[in-house]
Structure 1
Amino acid sequence: MSAKERWERETLQPFLQKAPERREKFITVSNQQIKRLYTPEDIKDLDYDRDLGYPGEYPFTRGVYPTMYRGRLWTMRQFAGFGGPEETNQRFKYLLREGQTGLSTAFDMPTLMGLDSDHPLADGEVGVEGVAVDTLRDFEILFDGIPLDTVTTSFTINPSAPVIYAMYIAIGDMQGVPREKLRGTIQNDMLKEFIAQKEWVIPPRPSVDLIVDIFEFGIKETPNFNLISISGYHIREAGSTAVQELAFTLADGMAYVEAALKRGIDIDRLGPQLSFFFNSHNSFFEEIAKFRAARRIWARVMRERYGAKNPESWKLRFHTQTAGCTLTEQQPLNNIIRVTLQALAAVLGGTQSLHTNSYDEALALPSEEAVRIALRTQQIIAYESGVADTIDPLAGSYFVEALTNEMERQALDYIRKIEEMGHGSILEGVFAGIENGFFQREIAQAAYEYQKQVESGEQIIVGVNKYVMPQDEKSKLNILRVDPEVQRRQIERLNKVRAERDNRAVKRALERLEEAARTRENTMPYILEAVKAYASVGEIMEILKRVHGAYREPVIV
């Protein structure tokens, strides 16, 4: 009889007869069953050097840098953007004054979808959920007084990512900043749009071609700028499990690598400019295990499958955002505690940068007070908790290591399934999964199962299905509302730019872009030329739509 069996018989069972456990089974928010107790038996096959290693060394399970936060804290990068570029410029400067260490830009829906502010579909949406950007003139205002050689900037944008990337380069050129000194990230991840977030303009294959254009251009022109943020965040927000988020995100990353290799791009030039973006949800240990498993899988894939030789190419560097889908309208101050735990999981999981959601975001764009509390949450974790003082402090935990192994195993099962759909190609497997609805069905089923658990009370959400208050504090909150005047002002500026620019130069630039797109030449130099001529986001995206057509999602049952 093993020691554990003896404990179960002599100690556990008599105790359970007197005091049963709270429930028959314990599960994470992803429906992973959690055992009562984890012991060395659960990680008996774990090899320290093979599976964990040391920080900054392959397979990077314990972190991508040798000193992690003892050397430099994670970048505190709060997502910001609302109204016109004037309002967002002021919010950027406020956050930098309050101790934020990097910028992150949210765009409004018209900009995200490649529409100008005067487009009929933009009416009522201009500046509402992010900053409105039509032309380079808006970027001049957005980054006024912010030197691009001293700050890193992230841009959460996808269909029109090439245009925004070109605008940032153009502003850097205006400021006299050498392109190799531009630092930041463009999200530029269209595969997850077709899988989960559903913001697109042109079909999947030409969308990936545009992304590879950015890769090809960016490794030469902006070698210190992340050319993509391969995003699981939106997959999780759509209702996926942690394993699905991990697997589908890494599969997308592998698909982009394969697309780049087909173009003839050197993997060791591209690898260091790939970055990732994950969600940090409520199941604390599951999230930490997910982050650790992600690093290990990616390192092995890049070295063993794709033949990368540069250790920088093996490192999975990632940004984390706390889970917006967990924020509740009811008792919104409870969201501060949720966000704190999610942020702590991201830090213990080894994130490189972090956004903490504001407590009022289930109701509106965050107020200045709510943003400050969200930033202070990170600062208190960094400076008061002590968790940043040692590297990967949960390593060796029987539970965390077993959960990391299980996350890896299940994610690899999904990746093999995607590879089979592509007959050996992950890229073709992802395209097939989008076309046949594989990803959507998997996520929808997971979301359905979770919602059933919430409604049955198996998953408790404090303030929603337990500890409910008839009158909560939401009515007392100071809600940020975007002034409708923003739309009028934005359209007025757009019309002024169109009247004052050299429209013959714009016409020539757009014609050259169309020719490049039709002949499959790299489009980025031509997009940059059009941007510098003050062509608008909508005008540039209309050219790409004319060449490639507008995407319509197939009906999936």
Structure 2
Amino acid sequence: MSERQKEIKDGLDRWRETRGRMADRDCRFETVSSLPVNDLYTPLDLTDFDYMRDLGFPGDYPYTRGVQGNMYRGRLWTMRQFAGFATASDSNRRYKYLLEKGQTGLSVAFDMPTIMGYDSDHPRALGEVGRVGVAIDSLQDMETLFDGIPLDQVSTSMTINAPASIIWCMYIATGEKQGVPSEKLTGTIQNDILKEYIAQKSWIFPPEPSMRLITDIFAYACRHVPKWNTVSISGYHIREAGSTAAQELAFTLADGFAYVEAGIAAGLDVDEFAPRLSFFFNAHIDFFEEIAKYRAARRIWARRMKEKYGAKNPKSWLLRFHTQTAGCSLTAQQPENNIVRTAYEAMGAVLGGTQSLHTNSMDEVLALPTEKAVQIALRTQQILAHETGVANVIDPLAGSYYVEALTSKMEAEAERYFEEIEKRGGVLAAIDQNFFQQEIADAAYHYQRAIDSRQRIQVGVNEFVNPGETVDIEILKIDPQIEKDQVARLQKLRRERDNIRVRETLDALRRACAGTENAIPRILDCVRAYATEGEMIQVMREVFGEYKEKPTF
């Protein structure tokens, strides 16, 4: 121990002796993920910390301080509100409303039939069409969804996974219809099937053919859609399922490494596809823990990509990410409190260096958001950007003893999980063993027990409750007629299209899926012929089969 460290330790001991006579509040001092928090942090908590190795400068390896050299002094984060409901025309009106209010990117939410690969007239779609997102059955719907929105001037994120290849091809074909070549399209397709097996559960095919479709997208995008983010590797849904921050960090990055390994195994050079991988994280309510999570994520990714996977292009080392405030932190009770929660979560995401951000609306725990609630959520970002001053300084919390110690703690926790996943044979094997699923379930149970026992306070839920209070806010309701109209349009399309051409393109898709040909050009042919999503998915089901999760007890 150096003389300086000894001096600090002696001073800390004296302070603790005095401070020990002061009573603490009767509560647990820990993060929302149950990591214990010291009462005070000093340089003694950073004895192994090396500025250049662990921190460096913004835009420089290992990117702990951010992936751009000037961060928000150069350009603010993209303000992207997740939206989609009812029909394509209804959602189109909402997108134009958001763009008029100052939103700078679009983010598409799809309904459950679309997410699960069913057309709107399928028996399993009954009662679900347009309920939690927009119904997209064919290229016709995608054309309507983006009518009057020039795709060479807007960046679009689409939250779709098992049918991602089909929805992406519909977007590419819509660009063609607008006269926008695929080389000019910018945006992100979530396309993260591994987290579906781990947390969200909206899979269709088994893991192996699902991964094949993803590497097909990698290869096609490299050559034809070079500005597109081909996967949004998502920790968001892992966190929404109940994981801790460390689990979200570790499981998300482990999935990312699995995609990298799959791309390499498919014969692609890592620097061909890795620069277009992006990430999607949750912004939960524990302010400092979330900031530390983002900083640790950048550092881990950069080191692994350079040192393990041999990436030589610095763009392959960059962990670029979108953030959404935590839906699971919102409450149905006293929903106006959700505006405050979302504001704090958004600030954490910005101080953590996000590239784009979605702020949840106060009513999303009850229904799809109303226009008023969406505007408040968007204004939250605009106030954050233009009034609070947080965008003026790059990584302003760097050097904080607490933030740096917590960043290193998050990194260490993630490394511990990586070792365990490796012992189990990798991500696919760990999924098959229900490892991720059990870890998340245990964490969710622990968190809920803490709320139920009032060891963790949730304002308006288990404390600060107003007796007899009722929720009195406007709720968006979807007219049942919407489903009938969507089904009628779909059936009219099937009657009027060239069905011989549709059958030819579907047969070609079947041959591609059964062989080794890249499936994306064949999917594009089907889309251009106005084959429906359900028809294409059915061909793939027949070739690939369906995934069934192993039960665990």
Q: Same fold (TM over 0.5)?
A: yes
How far apart, in 2, do the equivalents of 1:385 and 1:12 lie? 35
The match for 2:200 is 197
How far apart, in 2, do the equivalents of 1:328 and 1:106 lie? 21
Output aligned runs, 1:278-289, within 5 Å. 278-289=281-292
2:175 to 172, 177, 193: 172
2:479 paired with 1:446: no
The match for 2:551 is 555
Q: Quote how far apart the aligned CAs of 1:6 are.
A: 4.3
CA contact (8 A) 2:64 2:295 kept: yes
The match for 2:507 is 511
Q: Quote how far apart the aligned CAs of 1:421 are.
A: 1.6
Q: Quote how far apart the aligned CAs of 1:10 are.
A: 4.1
1:126 to 112, 120, 129: 129
The match for 1:522 is 518
The match for 2:497 is 501
How far apart, in 1, do the equivalents of 2:166 and 2:14 lie? 68
The match for 1:536 is 532
Q: Quote how far apart the aligned CAs of 1:556 are.
A: 1.3
How far apart, in 2, do the equivalents of 1:211 and 1:412 lie? 26
Deviations 1:144-193, CA, capped at 9 Å, x for gaps: 00000000000000011011000000011111112111000000000000
How far apart, in 1, do the equivalents of 2:428 and 2:16 lie? 51
How far apart, in 2, do the equivalents of 1:361 and 1:36 lie? 36
- SS of match in other structure, 2:102: coil
Q: Quote how far apart the aligned CAs of 1:11 are.
A: 4.1
Q: Quote how far apart the aligned CAs of 1:27 are.
A: 0.9
Output aligned runs, 1:328-347, within 5 Å. 328-347=331-350
2:393 paired with 1:390: yes
Q: Which residue identity does 1:448 align to in structure 2?
A: Y
CA contact (8 A) 1:332 1:473 kept: no
CA contact (8 A) 2:243 2:440 kept: yes
Output aligned runs, 1:237-252, within 5 Å. 237-252=240-255
Cα separation, partners in 2 of 1:50 and 1:512, compared to 1, 3 Å: same
2:71 paired with 1:75: no
Q: Which residue identity does 1:500 align to in structure 2?
A: E
1:183 to 173, 181, 186: 186
2:143 to 126, 129, 140: 140
The match for 1:425 is none
State, as a whole percentage, how many aligned pairs show the same letter.
59
- Unmatched 5+ stretches in structure 1: 423-428
Q: Which residue identity does 1:461 align to in structure 2?
A: Q
Output aligned runs, 1:204-353, within 5 Å. 204-353=207-356
How far apart, in 2, do the equivalents of 1:10 and 1:316 lie? 43
- SS of match in other structure, 2:68: coil
- SS of match in other structure, 2:280: strand
Output aligned runs, 1:430-445, within 5 Å. 430-445=427-442
Tell me which moved more, 371-380 or 5-14. 5-14
Q: Which residue identity does 2:84 align to in structure 1?
A: G
Q: Quote how far apart the aligned CAs of 1:271 are.
A: 1.2
CA contact (8 A) 2:130 2:483 kept: yes
- SS of match in other structure, 1:129: coil
Q: Quote how far apart the aligned CAs of 1:7 are.
A: 4.5
How far apart, in 1, do the equivalents of 2:12 and 2:311 lie? 48
How far apart, in 2, do the equivalents of 1:66 and 1:5 lie? 36
Deviations 1:52-84, CA, capped at 9 Å, x for gaps: 111111100000000000000000000000000
CA contact (8 A) 2:183 2:224 kept: yes
Output aligned runs, 1:481-500, within 5 Å. 481-500=477-496
- SS of match in other structure, 1:244: helix
How far apart, in 2, do the equivalents of 1:271 and 1:479 lie? 42
How far apart, in 2, do the equivalents of 1:23 and 1:6 lie? 28
The match for 2:47 is 44
Q: Which residue identity does 2:435 align to in structure 1?
A: F
CA contact (8 A) 1:53 1:61 kept: yes
How far apart, in 2, do the equivalents of 1:297 and 1:14 lie? 39
Deviations 1:249-304, CA, capped at 9 Å, x for gaps: 00000000000000111111211110000001011000000000000000001100
2:88 paired with 1:85: yes
Deviations 1:387-440, CA, capped at 9 Å, x for gaps: 000100000000000000000011011012112222xxxxxx111111111001
How far apart, in 2, do the equivalents of 1:317 and 1:192 lie? 18
CA contact (8 A) 2:27 2:455 kept: no
- Unmatched 5+ stretches in structure 2: none
1:110 to 108, 113, 117: 113
Q: Quote how far apart the aligned CAs of 1:25 are.
A: 3.9
Q: Quote how far apart the aligned CAs of 1:322 are.
A: 0.2
The match for 2:152 is 149
- SS of match in other structure, 1:278: strand
Q: Which residue identity does 2:404 align to in structure 1?
A: E
Tell me which moved more, 205-214 or 103-112. 205-214
How far apart, in 2, do the equivalents of 1:342 and 1:7 lie? 35
How far apart, in 1, do the equivalents of 2:26 and 2:252 lie? 33
How far apart, in 2, do the equivalents of 1:65 and 1:190 lie? 29
Q: Quote how far apart the aligned CAs of 1:5 are.
A: 5.1
How far apart, in 2, do the equivalents of 1:11 and 1:307 lie? 48
| TM-score, length basis structure 1 | 0.97
The match for 2:464 is 467
- SS of match in other structure, 2:503: helix
CA contact (8 A) 2:28 2:455 kept: no
Q: Quote how far apart the aligned CAs of 1:12 are.
A: 3.7
Q: Which residue identity does 2:215 align to in structure 1?
A: V
Q: Which residue identity does 2:17 align to in structure 1?
A: Q
Tell me which moved more, 525-534 or 19-28. 19-28
Cα separation, partners in 2 of 1:297 and 1:5, compared to 1, 3 Å: closer
Q: Which residue identity does 1:130 align to in structure 2?
A: G
How far apart, in 1, do the equivalents of 2:118 and 2:516 lie? 24
Q: Which residue identity does 1:477 align to in structure 2?
A: I
- SS of match in other structure, 1:229: strand
Q: Which residue identity does 1:504 align to in structure 2?
A: I
How far apart, in 1, do the equivalents of 2:16 and 2:45 lie? 19
- SS of match in other structure, 2:451: helix
How far apart, in 2, do the equivalents of 1:3 and 1:95 lie? 56
How far apart, in 1, do the equivalents of 2:78 and 2:58 lie? 18
CA contact (8 A) 2:77 2:357 kept: yes
Count, aligned residues: 549
Q: Which residue identity does 1:176 align to in structure 2?
A: G
Q: Quote how far apart the aligned CAs of 1:383 are.
A: 0.1
Q: Quote how far apart the aligned CAs of 1:23 are.
A: 3.1
Deviations 1:235-257, CA, capped at 9 Å, x for gaps: 00000000000000000000000
How far apart, in 1, do the equivalents of 2:191 and 2:362 lie? 28
| TM-score, length basis structure 2 | 0.98
Q: Which residue identity does 2:498 align to in structure 1?
A: D
The match for 1:13 is 17
